[in-house]
Amino acid sequence: MDSQLRRGVLDVCVLRSLCDGDSYGYQIIKDISPYLTLSESTLYPILKRLEAMGCLRVYSVEHSGRLRKYYGITETGRERIKEFLTEWEEIMRAYAYIKEAER
Amino acid sequence: MNKKEFIDELCKRLRKTPADEAERTVNYYSEAIDDRIEDGMTEEEAVAALGSIDDIVREVIGQSAADEKGETADNRETEIKRVRKNYVVDPAGVNTVNVTETNGSVELAKSPDGRIHFRVTEDKNLSYSVRKEKGVVIIRKETRRIGFAALGISFPIDLGMTESRIKVELPDNFAPFIDVKTGSGDISGTVGAAQGLFAGTGSGDISLKGVASGKTTLTSASGDVEVLDLTTNEAEISTVSGDLSMKRCAAESMKLKTVSGGISGKEIYADKKLIVNTVSGDIDINMESPLELGSFESTSGDISLSLYGCESDYSVSAKSITGKVGAPNGNESAGRAIRVRTASGDIDVFCEV
């Protein structure tokens, strides 16, 4: 997949995984894994980018004697998902149009 | 790879990355490993599951370069801006100059303008602080460090340049106590006059010349020590595994010591006392002055001495267990004792009358 496109899709998948509740790195990877392969080295910059965009809030919780970073989706994050779905409809229309030529 | 190895490697590779970014990244992956271990993986499996360090570093470096430039370019290394700085201190009222480096080298030189100069290069992770307190001028390296804990051990990691250096320029007619320490850097240069001189390094070499100092102590653990043109009351010069080499050195009393390195002295003036000691190094000393008390000992090395004639009484002993002892020459006279001993080595004695 085109890297720009893939990045956009992954961003939204991560946001989607947080719609079911706040989560942490490893859990996010496990939740997404049935749909997409995602490695820690891919997830880390995504989380950073989403945080910088204000799509996530980040906080630490003590967990068995150490700190674990949790990520939660913000309003901006939810907006981003909506935007993506709208954009995607347009892409789907383009897809249908492209596909027509194949027939 | 276990967790510690992984984290060490990651820190090493992120050295050029801004400190907060590097720290965040290390914490993130440290947490990722812990979460996997908690989920039932072994430490090695957890590390392997993270993927390659190359990928991790590429993502971080790509991103931080992009952050700085405000664009989304990948694979671009962050350039760290380095700035040359010169800290200038008025020597009035100063009696001690204290230099503390960690891994950088220290060079001593003469000041061009009668003031003390500390010339250094700094970057955003590395700076120096210079303080003047009750006659003591202290220059200290301040590296930005990230500390993180893995397996209950904390690892401080220096984020500054891997190679740093302080050039210390001291005025003539100043003669302070000079105290120079570095962990792994070299100490070199021309010292000039000093009330006293201490130079210590862990694994660096010491190479000093033109020293005129009260008491002189030079010590390295694994580096070589080289001294040219030394005048001092009392010298203690030692290295554990490096070689020690002295030329044109004068002291009332001199102690030279190594464990495995050789000790070589050319044109040595030590009118009162000269003690030379090594376990496995060779000793080769050439005296240019009379010597009242001399002791030369090597357990397994060879000893070769050339002594200067003496009008008064003197006592010299040279001892090696398995090495060869070639010594000493000198004029014969009552009250002079020369003892030369070896357990299994050869002995050569030349006496010129």
Question: Which residue in B328, B324, B341 sits closest to B291, CA to CA?
Answer: B328
Quick check: B20 contacting A, CB < 8 Å? no
Cβ–Cβ of A40/B32 closer than 8 Å?
yes
Reply yes or no on whether the pLDDT at B182 is more than 70.
yes
Cβ–Cβ of A67/B51 closer than 8 Å?
no
- Length of chain A, in residues: 103
Tell whether B75 is covered by a domain. no
Nearest Cα of chain B lies from the Cα of A44 at a distance, in angstroms, of 8
Tell whether B335 is covered by a domain. no
CB count, 10 Å around CB of B50? 20
Which residue does chain A place closest to B47, by CA atoms?
Answer: A40
Give residues 62 to 121 of B whose Cβ lies within 8 Å of A. 62-63
State both tokens at B21: 């970014």
Q: Which of B27, B39, B59 shows the shortest C-beta gap to A41?
A: B59
CB A16 within 8 A of CB A34: no
Structure confidence at residue B339 as a pLDDT band (50, 70, 90):
low
Quick check: B177 contacting A, CB < 8 Å? no
Question: How far lies B338's CA from each of B125, B266, B278, B286, in Å?
Answer: 59, 21, 20, 16
The A-side interface with B (CB below 8 A) comprises: 24-27, 39-42, 44-45, 48-49, 64, 66-69
Q: Which residues of A touch B58 (CB under 8 A)?
A: 41
The pLDDT score that the predictor gives to residue A35 is 86
Q: What is the H or E stretch that residue A49 is in? A: helix A40-52
Domain boundaries, position B34: 3-69
Instruction: Name the phi and psi angles at B28, rounded to 5.
Output: -60, -50
The pLDDT score that the predictor gives to residue B147 is 58
CB B336 within 8 A of CB B315: yes
Question: Which residue in A57, A69, A67, A64 sits closest to A26, CA to CA?
Answer: A69
Torsion of CA B90, B92, B98, B99, to 10 degrees: 20
Quick check: B154 contacting A, CB < 8 Å? no
Q: Supply angle C-alpha B221, B226, B230, rounded to 5.
A: 120
Cβ–Cβ of B34/A44 closer than 8 Å?
no
Tell whether B195 is covered by a domain. no
Question: Which residue in A46, A49, A51, A42 sits closest to A73, CA to CA?
Answer: A51
Q: Which of B145-154, B157-166, B179-188, B317-326 has the highest mean pLDDT?
A: B179-188
State both tokens at B86: 């010169």
pLDDT in tens, B266-291: 999 988 899 999 988 888 988 888 77
Cα B179 from chain centroid? 12
CA distance B240 to B253: 21
The pLDDT score that the predictor gives to residue A88 is 87
Positive or negative CA dihedral for B141, B142, B144, B146?
positive
Question: Which residue in B122, B129, B213 sits closest to B176, CA to CA?
Answer: B213
Question: Angle A25-32/A40-52 helices, nearest 10 degrees?
Answer: 110
The pLDDT score that the predictor gives to residue B349 is 60
Nearest Cα of chain A lies from the Cα of B49 at a distance, in angstroms, of 8
Tell whether B339 is covered by a domain. no
The pLDDT score that the predictor gives to residue B73 is 38
The residues, any chain, with a CB within 8 Å of residue B333's CB and separated by 6 or more, are: B310, B313
Tell whether B57 is covered by a domain. yes
Which residue does chain B place closest to A3, by CA atoms?
Answer: B74
State both tokens at B23: 């720290």
The pLDDT score that the predictor gives to residue B148 is 56
Q: What is the mean pLDDT of chain B?
A: 81
The pLDDT score that the predictor gives to residue A74 is 94
Reply yes or no on whether the pLDDT at B344 is more than 70.
no
Q: Which residues of A touch B34 (CB under 8 A)?
A: 66
The pLDDT score that the predictor gives to residue B310 is 57
Structure confidence at residue B78 as a pLDDT band (50, 70, 90):
very low
Tell whether B48 is covered by a domain. yes
The residues, any chain, with a CB within 8 Å of residue A74's CB and separated by 6 or more, are: A54, A55, A56, A57
To the question of pTM greater than 0.90 for the whole model, the response is: no
CA distance B263 to B285: 8
pLDDT in tens, B102-133: 888 999 999 988 899 999 988 877 888 898 88
Q: Which residues of A touch B6 (CB under 8 A)?
A: none
Question: Angle B53-69/A40-52 helices, nearest 10 degrees?
Answer: 20
User: Considering only B62-66, B186-190, B220-224, which range has the smallest mean pLDDT?
Assistant: B62-66
Each residue's pLDDT, cut to its tens digit, for chain A (103 residues) gives 566 777 788 899 999 999 999 999 999 999 998 888 888 888 988 998 899 889 999 998 888 888 889 999 999 999 999 999 998 888 889 889 998 887 6
The pLDDT score that the predictor gives to residue B158 is 58
Tell whether B33 is covered by a domain. yes
Q: Which of B34, B52, B55 shows the shortest C-beta gap to A66?
A: B34
Which residue does chain A place closest to B26, by CA atoms?
Answer: A44
CA distance B220 to B224: 7
Reply yes or no on whether the pLDDT at B297 is more than 80.
yes
The pLDDT score that the predictor gives to residue B345 is 62
Question: Which residue in B306, B301, B299 sits closest to B285, CA to CA?
Answer: B306
Judging by beta carbons within 10 Å of its beta carbon (0-12, 13-18, 19+), is residue B328 exposed, middle or buried?
buried
The pLDDT score that the predictor gives to residue B96 is 94
CA distance A49 to A31: 20
Tell whether B301 is covered by a domain. no
Cβ–Cβ of A26/B51 closer than 8 Å?
no
CA distance B315 to B336: 6
Total number of domains constituting chain B: 1
Structure confidence at residue B74 as a pLDDT band (50, 70, 90):
very low
Instruction: Name the phi and psi angles at B87, rounded to 5.
Output: -90, 125
Cβ–Cβ of B59/A67 closer than 8 Å?
no
The pLDDT score that the predictor gives to residue B104 is 85
Domains of chain A, CATH where assigned: 3-102 (1.10.10.10)
Cβ–Cβ of B32/A49 closer than 8 Å?
no
Nearest Cα of chain A lies from the Cα of B154 at a distance, in angstroms, of 14
The predicted complex's ipTM stands at 0.83
Instruction: Name the phi and psi angles at B277, rounded to 5.
Output: -140, 130
pLDDT in tens, B36-72: 999 999 999 999 888 888 888 887 776 555 455 444 4
